[in-house]
Amino acid sequence: MPRISNKGNIMPESPIRKLVPFAEKAKKKGKKVYHLNIGQPDISTPEVALEAIHDFSEKVVEYSHSAGFESYRKGLAIYYQNLGIDISYNDLMITTGGSEALLFALNSCLDAGDEIIVPEPFYANYNGFSISAGVIVKPITTSIDNGFALPDIEEFERLITSNTKAILICNPGNPTGYLYSRKELETLRDIVVKHDLFLFSDEVYREFTYDGHEHYSVLNIEGLDKNTVVIDSTSKRYSMCGIRVGCIVSKNKEVMATALKFAQARLSPPTFGQIAGEAALDTPKSYFDQVSKEYVSRRNLLIDGLNKIEGVICPKPKGAFYAIAQLPVDNADKFAQWLLEDFDLNGETLMVAPAAGFYSTADTGKDQVRIAYVLNKNSLQKAINCLDKALKDYPGRTI
């Protein structure tokens, strides 16, 4: 019998989606499940994007240029320029979601066996993307005790070898909600320039920063034009995850020319996604003001509620819409499954993502979960109530 690839064998399951069968069984039993496991916002997609799809009148849905529609790229360049980022439309390329942008970046800049340093916990699919590209992830562990701040420069230096080719960050972060300061980004600049590395920055949550904190892009940091590659997406910015359109941005001409070859191999990004993405550039500022205000309200409700539960530790995120919570449980994987199989409060329960899958270091984050505050406040409060009762009832409680 033919054997599947080694890549296939070591490809990790999604910690976000692997419990779906248990959730489906719970629903068939009549339970209400509050989904805090996945970053699928319930925020409405901007009307301008939906209207653009409705108004499509061409008789043929054609391929676009492999780099994406020129009009969309020019519009995106203006979007970045308004953020103080001086790029032209030739410095960016449209991709099928941020996922493809990262795959193109990895394959364009690293060879099989090369190493990439990633602060953990990190977006779980970074592991899968790296395996697909034959790249070795070297994690640098951050701590819940200081809110997952960037580790000292000496810790990066200890991990760098002759095989190290890049550092990857997510800013603001998924799964922690951590927002890197300008000083931290300048520290990363010093590291990548000294060691001639690439710096990949996943900035898909750029619009969502709170409490007066400001997002700094690596593209705003001087001296990094040849080193930086930004990953971006429409999915969370405009709450249209299913559109599957993102982009890769870099002033490094060789990187962009190489990425285009990978783009040509997959022909083109989705036409309707680009139509929606281009139209969404006209989303009024009031939309983001309202969305940000809603996320702050949800965040405060969730984090305050979690920290009132005995034994729970949850730093307050400065951005995105995720948080990592440490729970008084023996094993978060078992607890998450138990929530779906054996627990309910008045016919209701919740689904969380065990955080161990967001770490690359073995046996790390086993008592932590990632929670996405993407539900309305009434649902969030009910989920908090469920969690409070569940932690009292769980047989593997540790306090």
Per DSSP, the three-state class of 381 is: helix
Q: At what angle do helices 97-109 and 125-133 cross, to 10 degrees?
A: 40
**Domain housing 115:** 47-280
Of 280, 298, 316, the last residue of a domain is 280
Look at 3-17, 148-162, 227-241, 248-262 and tell me which has the smallest mean pLDDT: 3-17
Output the domain CATH number for residue 144: 3.40.640.10
> Distance of CA 196 to CAs 127, 138, 248, 349, Å?
23, 17, 20, 49
Mean predicted confidence (pLDDT) in 25-33: 95
Report the percent of the chain where pLDDT is more than 90. Answer: 93
Are 113 and 209 members of one domain? yes
pLDDT band (50, 70, 90) for residue 12: confident
Alpha carbon distance 324, 335 (integer Å): 15
Residue 329 in tokens: 């449980």
CA angle 381, 387, 391 (to 5 degrees): 150
Each residue's pLDDT tens digit, 242-301: 999 999 999 999 999 999 999 999 999 999 999 999 999 999 999 999 999 999 999 999
Of 280, 300, 335, the last residue of a domain is 280
Q: What is the pLDDT of residue 106?
A: 97
Q: How many domains does the chain have?
A: 2
Are 25 and 119 members of one domain? no
Closest CA relative to residue 178, chosen from 216, 201, 146, 147: 147
Alpha carbon distance 5, 129 (integer Å): 15
Is 31 a domain residue? yes
Are 39 and 64 members of one domain? no
Alpha carbon distance 160, 395 (integer Å): 43
Alpha carbon distance 269, 349 (integer Å): 39
Are 171 and 227 members of one domain? yes
Are 93 and 203 members of one domain? yes
- In contact, 179 and 319? CB cutoff 8 Å: yes
Is 323 a domain residue? yes
Are 108 and 69 members of one domain? yes
Q: Which are the contacts of 28, defined by CB distance < 8 A and separation ≥ 6?
A: none
pTM: 0.94
Are 27 and 55 members of one domain? no
Mean predicted confidence (pLDDT) in 136-163: 94
Are 339 and 201 members of one domain? no
- What's the whole-number average pLDDT of the chain? 95
Are 187 and 90 members of one domain? yes
pLDDT band (50, 70, 90) for residue 399: confident
Q: What is the pLDDT of residue 39?
A: 85
Asked whether the predicted pLDDT for residue 186 surpasses 90, the reply is yes
Is 256 a domain residue? yes
Of 280, 299, 315, the last residue of a domain is 280
Are 136 and 149 members of one domain? yes
Alpha helices, DSSP H, located in 240-310: 253-265, 271-280, 285-307
Q: What is the pLDDT of residue 229?
A: 98
Mean predicted confidence (pLDDT) in 335-351: 96
Asked whether the predicted pLDDT for residue 17 surpasses 90, the reply is no
Q: What is the pLDDT of residue 41?
A: 87
